[in-house]
A and B are shown apart, each in its own frame.
Chain A
Amino acid sequence: QVQLHESGPGLVKPSETLSLTCTVSGGSINNYYWSWLRQPPGKGLEWIGYMYSSGSTDYNPSLKSRVTMSVDTSKNQLYLRLRYVTAADTAVYFCSRVQFAVAVNMDVWGEGTTVSVSS
């Protein structure tokens, strides 16, 4: 079955760029939408955005000016870049697969990766 695994640096300095990779195994990236979400410590889920395997994207307006999502289908990997991070960006970041192309239906999730923003 499809499995997702997020990876990236656990610590990022303020004002720098957070870069994460989501590796998809057991299935193809093609013909699906893929989402990124985050969860600050002790808080709820926040949808960052999603992208189709072709590269088209839709972002949360609150993060749109700082976010870029991309995909490398040859590597079966998804990427998230978040620029100019602050302490408010400290969170567990998840990637997920969207079911039936309905953005809120996410049927497969990675285990998440913790990112702390601190100098």
Chain B
Amino acid sequence: QSALTQPASVSGSPGQSITISCTGTSSDVGAFDYVSWYQQHPGKAPKLIIYDVSSRPSGVSNRFSGSKSGDTASLTISGLQAEDEADYYCGSYSSSGTLVVFGGGSKLTVL
């Protein structure tokens, strides 16, 4: 069982926006502004798309945005494209046990 809770699946049509939630606790998501989001296509390594809750690495599309409220972080993808179909993982810095905890991943299907 993963430390952070994400929906197993989300879906949307091209051009639409979707939001993936990531719920933790006051020891991880709620305690630190160190939440990251990773995109993983099948058979590939994860790719960092959001760090520090809402910052985007150079080269990542501005269609990806992140936010946080309390113990829940969110990833929003706007203007959905077919290439966005992938698994998305949230991760957080944690003060309880291990330094890094992840969500179980959310599979995004672009209809």
Residues of A within 8 A of B (CB): 35, 43-47, 50, 58, 60-62, 94, 99-100, 102-107, 109-112
- Out of B45, B91, B97, which one reaches A109, CB within 8 Å? B45
A-B contacts, 9 of them at CB < 8 A, read: A50-B99, A60-B99, A62-B98, A104-B99, A105-B48, A105-B51, A106-B48, A107-B57, A109-B45
Which B residues are in CB contact (< 8 Å) with A106? 36, 38, 46, 48
Q: What's the least CB distance linking A52 to chain B, in Å? A: 13
Closest to A58 in B: B99
Closest CB-CB distance, A92 to chain B, in whole Å?
Answer: 9
Nearest-neighbour CB distance to chain A for B28, whole angstroms, equals 9
Residues of A within 8 A of B51 (CB): 99-100, 102, 104-105, 107
- Nearest Cβ in chain A — how far from B75, in angstroms? 14
Min CB distance, B97 to chain A, in Å? 5
Contacting residue for A46 out of B44, B48, B102, CB 8 A = B102
Residue count of chain B within 8 Å CB distance of chain A = 26
Closest A residue by C-beta to B48 = A107
Q: Which of B48, B52, B92, B99 counts the most chain A CB atoms within 10 A?
A: B99
A61 to B89: give the CA distance in the assembly, Å: 21
When A47-B98, A47-B102 are in contact, do A102 and B45 touch as well, CB less than 8 Å? no
A102 contacts which chain B residues (CB < 8 A)? 34, 51-52, 93
